[in-house]
Chains A and B, each alone.
Chain A
Amino acid sequence: MILLKRVLTTCGYCGCGCGLYVNIEGDEILGVTPQGGHVVSDGKLCAKGWHGFSFVRSPRRLTKPLIKNNDGTFREASWEEAYKTVKEGFTRAMTGGDNTDAIGVFSSARCTNEENFLMAKLARMSLKTSSIDHCARL
């Protein structure tokens, strides 16, 4: 028996914000169904909306934190070790000079509102930098 799950969401591609259902079986995306009556898209989708989501289960997805070795290759690491390394690296940058803009932060137009808000807070509160930007210009 096929147990199909339909999850309503907003397309993650462009600034239109079309409504669609993602059809899921287990951990696999079977396809999408446009949301009829949606205030923006009213049951329509573009090529990316219809076809664009198999990247989510691409074998090339990052699945574990990585830390760079001295020879330039990466090794897998635990979250604990990764966070510790991040903290050490940023702390070193912050204490290296007398200015408050020693760290640059690129936030993301692909991330959610909540994530951009948290990135602004992390940058300004924890990393003590006002140099936060994203690719609105590109």
Chain B
Amino acid sequence: MVATRVFEAKEKGASLYVVDPRRIRLAEFADEYAEIEPGTNLAFVNALIHIIIEEDLYDHKFVAERVENFEAVKESVKDCTAKWAEEITNIPAETIENIARGFAGADKGSVLYAMGITQHKTGTKNVASLANLVMITGNVGREGTGLNPLRGQNNVQGACDLGALPNVLPGYQKAVDPATKEKYGKVWGDFSCFDGNKIPEMFDRIDEGKMKALYVMGENPVLSDPDQQHVMHCLEKVDFMVVQDIFLSETAQYADVVLPGASFLEKDGSFTNTERRAQLIHKALEPIGESKPDWLILAELMQMFGYEGSYENPSAVMDEINTLVPQYGGITYERIQDVGLQWPCPNLDHPGTQYLHKDKFIRGKGLMTVTPYEEPGEQADEEYPLIMTTGRVHHHYHTGTMTREVWTLDREYPGGFVEINKADAEKMGLWDHQMVKISSRRGSITAKAVITDNIKEGVVFMSFHFAESPVNKLTSQVVDPVTKIPEYKVTAVRIEVA
């Protein structure tokens, strides 16, 4: 869907630059395609910034009026020449220069990215470096510009907005801020208002014997989280575990109690998309069997624990959200009946916000961050000579609990596979569709080899949709120190005939 907009822009004369270790389909339409070595994003982006400053292509007015820390960033990239970056990223220096000049020369430039930027040890710095890039080129707060993260799951945005994070209450209100405790205390009474553990830390706390119980709603960490053996060990170890899901997933097998939830077609509510737009969903079917909408299960459990309030329907929950979450203050079911609203939307008269940071950054001036290149957490060596990167395919969704139940989708990709470059396959004597064993420092799995030109030499690609080829048995526990996002994009592996 996003690609259709890219095509439209391209038809109107925009230049398209694609940077990916896989020659994705969009690359066929690109003005420049940069086949980047996994884990070297920072070297690439720092080189772009170096060239743009060195050749005086940056937006002087924007830098002077809207950003701070420019000089420090300028100093930090002074040796990041295209030649230097070529050594690290394997992208020809000329390509890097063309992209830098093209992006800086455009009247409007937009950066689209997803997990290829974030799922690295340096995920936070990768994003910050792209923020530097859009700031020095003045590409913020106007139509067709900006730094645009593409959310993978339908409601990642809403889950973050509404408090499914350990360090903030709904609306990104910091848990450790006394004002938050006071505000929520008036409505929620006594509640836990600390910086809690992120998912990888929860597993560590279970392993240490400090976390005793788990409640997992609509997630499948056995397939989706890094280092599967560690996850399974922790799920076995935890004293008590509740899973709420629509299927008996790989994770649900470990539960003491399984609660049957309802799918999105069997309930009312709202989702917030990647452009911060809250939109309604409507019940099309009754929940199957005795299953219940998840909101109802949660509300009933709250009452089991002594809560005296009740919610008649999801709209009543939104009423409470309106009062507690400033960004959603004016987002009512009545207003989003036909067309969704983009937050921040603080009150009923507010039309919603199409562009964040339009005339000024929310914090005042845009802060540029020094982001020096660091090597990824794992390196290839003699024993594990290839670098595996992971991701999704068009016809499947996450751990496949839904799409693998749909035959028209499953037939497109009926099982686990590993994409291998032709030259690498030739060296190993592999033939197309042969079963191979893929091993990392953590374990081994098998999958079908798909031999292709569309991936960089020395790199292989696998997808985490398939329980029979569980890729996260191979991935490491290397994480970004700030966000704890796992480094899914760089795992050293070896491949042999199964």
Residues of A within 8 A of B (CB): 5, 7-19, 22, 24, 27, 29, 39-41, 44, 46-48, 51-58, 60-68, 74, 79, 82-87, 89-90, 92-93, 96-97, 99-138
Query: Scoring B residues 304 to 347 as 1 if CB is less than 8 Å from chain A, else 0, what string do you get?
Result: 11110001001001101100010010000000000110000000
Q: In the complex, what residue of chain A is closest to B339 when comparing beta carbons?
A: A39
Q: Are B405 and A55 in contact, CB atoms less than 8 angstroms apart?
A: yes
Asked if B278 is at the interface of the complex by the 8 Å CB criterion, the answer is yes
Q: Which residues of A contact B163 (CB under 8 A)?
A: 116-117, 119-121, 132
Q: Are B271 and A61 in contact, CB atoms less than 8 angstroms apart?
A: no
Given A10-B271, A52-B409, A125-B188 in contact, is the A103-B213 Cβ separation under 8 Å? yes
CA distance A45 to B283 in the complex (A): 20
Q: In the complex, what residue of chain B is closest to A68 when comparing beta carbons?
A: B256
Q: Which residues of B contact A137 (CB under 8 A)?
A: 118-119, 198-199, 483-486
Given A17-B279, A89-B257 in contact, is the A130-B248 Cβ separation under 8 Å? no
Q: Are A93 and B304 in contact, CB atoms less than 8 angstroms apart?
A: no
Can you report 15 A-B residue pairs in the complex whose CB atoms are below 8 A from each other?
A12-B263, A16-B1, A79-B290, A101-B196, A107-B164, A108-B294, A115-B269, A117-B321, A120-B164, A121-B188, A123-B215, A124-B192, A135-B225, A136-B165, A138-B224
Q: Are B320 and A117 in contact, CB atoms less than 8 angstroms apart?
A: yes
CB proximity of A52 to chain B, nearest CB, Å: 5
One of A24, A83, A100, A113 near B161 (C-beta < 8 A): A113
One of A56, A115, A133 near B294 (C-beta < 8 A): A115
Q: Are A113 and B272 in contact, CB atoms less than 8 angstroms apart?
A: yes
Q: Are B271 and A125 in contact, CB atoms less than 8 angstroms apart?
A: no
- Residues of B in contact (CB 8 Å), total 133
Report whether over half of chain A's contact residues are helix, strand or loop; otherwise say mixed.
mixed
Q: Are B156 and A102 in contact, CB atoms less than 8 angstroms apart?
A: no
Asked if B397 is at the interface of the complex by the 8 Å CB criterion, the answer is yes
Given A13-B397, A117-B163, A138-B225 in contact, is the A129-B192 Cβ separation under 8 Å? yes
Query: Scoring B residues 193 to 215 as 1 if CB is less than 8 Å from chain A, else 0, what string do you get?
Result: 11111110110011000111111
Q: In the complex, what residue of chain B is closest to A8 when comparing beta carbons?
A: B282
Q: A14-B154, A15-B154, A118-B298 known; 15 other A-B pairs, CB under 8 Å?
A: A11-B154, A12-B154, A41-B1, A53-B406, A64-B290, A79-B292, A86-B242, A86-B304, A87-B304, A93-B240, A101-B205, A113-B158, A117-B170, A128-B191, A133-B197
CA distance A68 to B318 in the complex (A): 35
Q: Are B263 and A117 in contact, CB atoms less than 8 angstroms apart?
A: no
CA distance A106 to B149 in the complex (A): 23
Q: Are A116 and B162 in contact, CB atoms less than 8 angstroms apart?
A: yes
Asked if B266 is at the interface of the complex by the 8 Å CB criterion, the answer is yes
CA distance A99 to B199 in the complex (A): 18
Q: In the complex, what residue of chain A is closest to B321 when comparing beta carbons?
A: A117
Q: Which residues of A contact B401 (CB under 8 A)?
A: 55
Instruction: Specify which of A53, A114, A120 lies most central, judged by the most chain B CB atoms within 10 Å of its CB.
Output: A114
Q: Are A130 and B194 in contact, CB atoms less than 8 angstroms apart?
A: yes
Q: Are A62 and B245 in contact, CB atoms less than 8 angstroms apart?
A: yes
Q: In the complex, what residue of chain A is closest to B485 when comparing beta carbons?
A: A137
